[in-house]
Amino acid sequence: MSQDNTAGPVIDPCGDIVASMAVVFKERLRESIADNPGGLTIDMARVAMVDSVGLGLLIATHNSLTKTNGQLRLANTCDDVLKLLRVMRLDRHFLIIP
Amino acid sequence: MDFDDDIMASFIEDTRGHLVGIESCLMDLEQAGAVADQELINTVFRAAHSIKGGAGFLGLSNVQALAHKLENVLHMVRNGELVPDNAVVSPLIEGFDLLRTLVENALDSSARDISEAVIALSDLATGHLPPACRDRLAQAVDVALPGGLSSIRLDRLSLEQAIQGGRYLYLVEYDLIHDIHARDKTPLDIIATMQSSGLILDCRMDLAAVGDLDAPQTNRIPFYLLYSTIVDPDVVGYLFALDTSRIHMVNHEALLAGSGPDPAHPGAPPFLLALTGDLGPDDLTALKSGLLAALEAHPDVTLDLNAAAPVTTAFVQFFCAAHRSFAARGKTLRLAGKAPDISRRLASLGFDPGGVAGCGLLTCPWFAGEDHS
């Protein structure tokens, strides 16, 4: 499993990862992984909130990457989202980059 | 300052309050030794417990872990299992000092290496325990989850502490989409509600149920929490705002007793259900009703296959689901009268010991004796 923080493409959503943007964002993630199955970084700098649908999207991304031995990396995650990921124990599955 | 900043500031302020005078309390404990005042011990214990709860809510994993270790040691002091001599009190004082430092730098606390303090406290608890009790710290207890998820594993001491005082142990099953998102709530709302009335021992999300990016958008995200509380089973559904079918009371006595008979029913013989017929759809429908009734009434149920036709794929799948349901309730479902060539027959149906590795249970009733934990 690659621990290279710079490996693979970086996707930077322009706002919260929530239900209203899930369909479009899912397609963007899917195309990115199809081109680069080894790993993906989501730059969370502009993400202040992830709702239940957004969590599902992150998990689906993780599951797609796992199939190809890739890893989902989350960079610049704000404290609120980090708290959510830790409470839900998802920090055991995603690589959180400080 | 936003709402969450307020919560963090409030937690830090509360923690400062809890820690005022802790060192002098601990020194008083050391001076009193074996005859230490219970209320003094309780004061220190409550400090660690409160800090642990708040840290858990805020996701401060190191603060929570260290407070939990301090709590474990203080619990043993309270129970008379540890005498608060210098060898015990010194690591406690150092632990509380580190806890104070972590909380004062809360946002960076999770990046700090606290392993030395955690190991010292763990060793303290283990080293001072009578040999017969040492295993409780090292012994893992697995709480099975439905849906083929790997079990929630925790140490026996934590489980014993969680159920003290007549508290109930529940396995709560939320669906993040229908139970949270559709009700315009966030996962943290649910966590906060639960932590206000009890203790979340651990949680697990069913990642596989979500599918991947090529699958249709998921409409179900199962989320399981292992939870202890004094809230009675009759009203616990209101607390979680869930149907009671999603709240499983875990038989902690059977859990602590391993796979043996339920100590709550000493000497109770296993309940036997003899199967006949070809195990087709009608038989399975009837069997499901019988098993649901048995699940409520008996801690240990055995299905006898002696008079039944050879097992089918549908029956194996049905039995595995039932086995997990029993395990989730801390109960036991066994098989009797398996054909001698059952392993070969299961292999021909597409099952094998490696294939059941993901079911999350420690023992497989089909491949008896083969550990797939």
How many interchain CB pairs under 8 A, A with B? 87
Taking the CB of residue B365, how many other CB atoms lie within 10 A of it?
19
Provide the shortest C-alpha distance from residue B48 to chain A (in Å).
19
Q: Where are the alpha helices (DSSP H) in B207-251?
A: 236-240
B132 C-beta neighbours (distance < 10 Å), count: 7
DSSP state of A50: B
B118 CB-near residues (< 8 Å, 6+ apart): B65, B66, B69
CA atoms within 13 A on the CB side of B366: 29
CB contact under 8 A, A79 and B177: no
Query: Quick check: do B3-138 and B271-359 share a fold?
Result: no
Tokens of B169: 């142990």
- Partner-chain contact A19 B181, CB within 8 Å: yes
User: B3-138: which CATH number, 1.20.120.160, 3.90.220.20, 3.30.70.250, 2.10.260.10?
Assistant: 1.20.120.160
Q: Which residue has the tokens 């599955």?
A: A93
CATH of domain B271-359: 3.30.750.24
- Mean pLDDT by runs of 10 across the 373 residues of chain B is 68 88 87 82 88 81 90 85 85 92 87 84 73 66 75 81 84 90 86 81 87 85 90 85 84 68 39 70 74 72 74 80 74 74 74 54 58 36
Place of tokens 């109930």: B168
Q: Tell me which chain B residues have a C-beta less than 8 angstroms from the C-beta of A53.
A: 177, 181, 217
Closest CA relative to residue B363, chosen from B310, B326, B311: B326
d(CA A58, CA A64): 10
- Residue B157's CB is within 10 A of a number of other CB atoms, namely 21
**Quick one: which H or E segment has residue A23?**
helix A19-35
Contacts of B218 in chain A (CB under 8 A): 56, 60
Distance CA B198, CA B237 (A): 14
Nearest by Cα to B146 from B365, B360, B301: B360
CA B14 to chain CA mean position, Å: 28
Interface subset of A 40-69, CB within 8 angstroms of B:
51-53, 55-56, 59-64, 67
Domains of chain A by start residue, with CATH? 10-97 (3.30.750.24)
Are the C-beta atoms of residues B252 and B263 closer than 8 Å to each other?
no
- The nearest alpha carbon in chain B to A83 belongs to B59
The CA distances from residue A68 to A37, A61, A76, in Å, are: 6, 11, 25
**Sheet of A10-11, strand order:** A10-11, A39-43, A71-75, A95-97
CB atoms inside a 10 Å sphere around CB B352: 14
Q: How far is A97 from chain B (nearest CA, A)?
A: 12
In chain A, whose CA is at the least distance from the CA of B224? A88
pLDDT the model gives residue B330 = 65
User: Any chain B CB within 8 A of the CB of A22?
Assistant: yes
pLDDT for residue A11: 95
Nearest CB to A51; choose among B181, B202, B207: B181
Which residues on A lie below 8 Å from B174 (Cβ)? none
Structure tokens at B228: 């202890």
Q: Report pLDDT for B357.
A: 45
In chain A, which residues have their Cβ closer than 8 Å to the Cβ of B59? 82-87
Contact criterion met (CB < 8 Å) for A59 and B221: yes
Q: Do B158 and B136 meet the contact criterion of CB atoms below 8 Å apart?
A: no
Rounded mean pLDDT, A38-58: 93
DSSP, collapsed to helix, strand or coil, labels residue B38 as helix
> Which positions in chain A touch B214 (Cβ < 8 Å)?
30, 64
Please report how the helices B313-328 and B281-297 are oriented relative to each other, as an axis angle in degrees rounded to 10. 10
Q: In whole angstroms, what is the distance from residue B32 CA to residue B25 CA?
A: 11
Q: Using the beta-carbon criterion (under 8 Å), do B188 and A84 form an inter-chain contact?
A: yes
Could you give the dihedral angle defined by the CA atoms of residues B6, B7, B12 and B17, in that order, rounded to the nearest 10 degrees?
100
Question: What's the CA dihedral at B183, B240, A91, B72 to 10 degrees?
Answer: 160
Please check the confidence at residue A29 and state whether its pLDDT lies above 90: yes
CA B4 to CA B12: how far, in whole Å?
12
**Per-residue model confidence (pLDDT) at position B95:** 92
pLDDT at B4: 60
Confidence at A92, pLDDT banded by 50, 70, 90? confident
Are B211 and A87 an interchain contact pair (Cβ–Cβ within 8 Å)?
no
State the pLDDT at residue B360.
47
Residue B358: CB atoms within 10 A of its CB come to 11
Please tell me the predicted confidence (pLDDT) of residue B371.
38
The CA–CA distances, whole Å, from A35 to A43, A68, A70, B78, B268 equal: 18, 12, 12, 59, 61
| Cross-chain residue pair B205–A59, CB shorter than 8 Å | yes
Nearest residue in chain B measured CA to CA from A59: B207
CB contact under 8 A, A88 and B203: yes
Q: Considering only CA atoms, which of B241, B221, B246 is closest in space to residue B170? A: B246
Give me the sign of the Cα torsion angle B70, B71, B72, B78. Answer: positive
Report the distance separating Cα B277 and Cα A43, nearest Å: 59
**What is the C-alpha to C-alpha distance for residues B140 and B281, in angstroms, rounded to an integer?**
39
Nearest chain B Cα distance for residue A15, angstroms: 17
Cα B334 to Cα B124: distance, rounded to the nearest angstrom: 40
Contact B212 A56 (CB under 8 A): no
Q: Is the dihedral of CA B130, B135, B138, B143 positive or negative?
A: negative
pTM value? 0.54
Name the residue ranges covered by the structural domains of chain B: 3-138, 143-250, 271-359
Prediction ipTM score:
0.87
